[in-house]
Amino acid sequence: MPETAWGFEIAPAEFESWILFEDSELLAVNKPGGVVCHPSKRGPRSSLIGAAREFRGLDPLHMPSRLDRETSGVVVFAKNKAAGSRLQKQIELRQVSKRYLAILQGRLERRMEIREPIGLCPDAAVKIRRAVRPDGKSAVTAFEPLETSANYTFVAALPQTGRMHQIRVHAAWAGHPIAGDKIYGPDETLYLEFVEHGFTPRLAQALPLRRHALHAERISFAGGPEFLAPLARDLIDFWRAQPALQGEAP
């Protein structure tokens, strides 16, 4: 997948390797981090949906839900309006189960469930930034620790609602922001710098990895189907490189 000054240009063979499932109605892919879901002015090969339309000859193509650019994992497309409406309805009725994997800063000792409303963050430098606020929309996320290193916790994140940036907002609010998060991590101006200049030396010094460590591992719809995406290689490599807790075997 060639990287350009503006992002990634998706190659046909690369896209084919991302396909998890395909039938007459649905197409599920394992999106890499760094690939945008929605259409881009840079042409069809600059976005996931654009590449799917071009390489698979699928137009129209419906995307009931999407992932942030830096989030990797399962994205499901519907090949016709009826299938798209059916999936969208299940999402609205909360008849969809999702499981994410994430690497959080710090040590999370036990399961944590956050029930805090989310809305736009007032006076934020990044206009899309969200925050926990009393007048926000209801949001619920559970975090289950799976493994712990000296400085990070590998968790399963289970959102019960679907607010924008929900997992990232709740993790940061709890004091355990997602590793590598440019908006909800140490300094939101890192995101503005990244948009303007790419991954600069300042970002490399401030962040432990090039993108935020969040992966959509599983999505299942009421009555089926269920789609699973193996954890992205960059997150596997980052986690394996972390030093173990003192006294634990490496």
Tell me what pLDDT residue 250 has: 39
The pTM assigned to this predicted structure is 0.93
206: Cβ contacts below 8 Å, ≥ 6 apart = 185, 186, 187, 190
**Structural domains in the chain (count):** 2
Is 178 in contact with 168 (CB distance < 8 Å)?
Answer: yes
Angle at 191 between CA 190 and CA 195, to 5 degrees: 120
Whether residue 65 is found in the same domain as residue 115: no
List C-alpha distances in Å: 107 to 72, 100, 113, 181, 208: 23, 18, 15, 17, 16
| 181 in catalytic set | no
**Parts of the chain with a pLDDT under 70:** 1-7, 245-250
pLDDT of residue 248: 52
Whether 88 and 103 map to the same domain: the answer is no
**What pLDDT is stored for residue 1 in this prediction?**
54
- Say what the pLDDT of residue 3 is: 55
Residue 217 lies in a domain: yes
Please indicate, yes or no, if residue 113 is contained in any of the structural domains.
yes
The last residue of one of the domains, among 78, 93, 108, is 93
pLDDT of residue 166: 98
The domain boundary residue, chosen from 93, 124, 139 = 93
**Domain-embedded: residue 59:** yes
SS3 assignment, position 28: strand
Residue 249 lies in a domain: no
Same domain, 202 and 237: yes
Q: What pLDDT is attached to residue 165?
A: 97
Is residue 70 located within the same domain as residue 150?
Answer: no
Q: The domain spanning residue 55 has which CATH number?
A: 3.30.2350.10
Same domain assignment for residues 80 and 102: no
Range of the domain at 61: 1-93
- Decide if 60 is inside a domain: yes
Query: Last residue of a domain, which of 64, 93, 122?
Result: 93
Considering the candidates 23, 59, 68, 237, report the single residue annotated as catalytic.
68
